[in-house]
Amino acid sequence: MSDLPKFESTMARSDRTARELFEEVRANPARARFGFGAKAALVNIDFQQAYTRPDLFPKTAYVTDPNQIDYVNDLAALARAAGMPVIWTRVCYKADAGDAGIWGTRTNTPDSLQNIKAGSDRHAFDPRCEIGPDDLVFDKRMPSAFFETPLASYLVWSKADTLIVTGGSTSGCVRATVVDSLSHGYRTIVPEQCVADKHESYHFANLTDMQLKYADVVDVAEARDWLKARR
C-alpha cells in the first residue's frame, strides 16, 4: 500500500438543475470576461435541416429558442455591414461514410450521423438561413469547425481576433468549436439565444462550462449592439 495520503471525493453535488446552476454562474461571474476585440468573425455551426427541422427530422433536430435563426440572420447582416466575415458550416459524408471514421461506428440507422449524405435533404441548409454571396460556406466531418477545414487560415487572412459562435449542438459541435477557438487564441463569444440542443440539461451544463472556462456567454442583444456600433 502507498504511504501517500488518500482523499475523499471533493466533487460538489447539488439538487439544482443545470439551468439553475447556469443562471447562478451568469449572475455571479467568478472571472473577468474575455470581451470583444477589434474584429469579429461570425461562425454559424450546422444550420442544416437534419438539426433545425423537427417537422422533417424529429429524431435529430432540436429547437431551444424559436427565434434562433432570426437572431443569427440579424447578426450576419450586421457583421457583413461592418466588413466582418460570416461563416456557415454543415456536416456531411461520402456515400460509404468512410470519412466519418470511428465517429460513425456507434449506430447505423437512417438517422445516424454518418448517413448525412452530401446533397441530401439532411445536408441542406435550413431555407430560413440568409446566407450571403460572400459568406464562407464549407462542410465538416467532425465536431469542431476548425478540424480539417479552411476556418483557421480564413480567420488569419481576415485578421479577426474574436469569434461569435452560434448553432448546434451546444454540447457537441458548438462546444468543440468554442474550445478550439480559445485554443487558437481567439476571444470567443456565445450568444445564448443563438445556440440549441436536444435537452436543456446538456444545453445549460455546457453553457455553464463554457462561461466558466472558454467563452463569454452573452445575451444576443449584446452581440447585436457591438456589431451595430461598428458598421
Helix (H, G, I), strand (E, B) or coil at 89: strand
- What CATH number was assigned to the domain covering residues 36-228? 3.40.50.850
Q: Give pLDDT, residue 225.
A: 98
Q: In which residue ranges of the chain is pLDDT below 50?
A: none
Residues 6+ apart with CB under 8 A from 61: 49, 50, 51, 52, 53, 54
**Is the Cβ–Cβ distance between 199 and 225 less than 8 Å?**
no
Q: Give pLDDT, residue 18.
A: 96
Residues 6+ apart with CB under 8 A from 56: 49, 121
- Break the chain into its structural domains and give their ranges: 36-228
Residues 6+ apart with CB under 8 A from 26: 211, 217
CA 14 to CA 76: how far, in whole Å?
A: 39
Catalytic position from the list 92, 129, 173, 194:
173
Identify whether 194 is a catalytic site residue: no
Q: Give pLDDT, residue 231.
A: 86
pTM: 0.96
Q: Give pLDDT, residue 1.
A: 62
Q: Give pLDDT, residue 31.
A: 87
Q: Give pLDDT, residue 78.
A: 98
Taking only the tens place, the pLDDT of each residue in 2-43 is 788 989 999 989 899 999 999 999 999 888 999 999 999 999
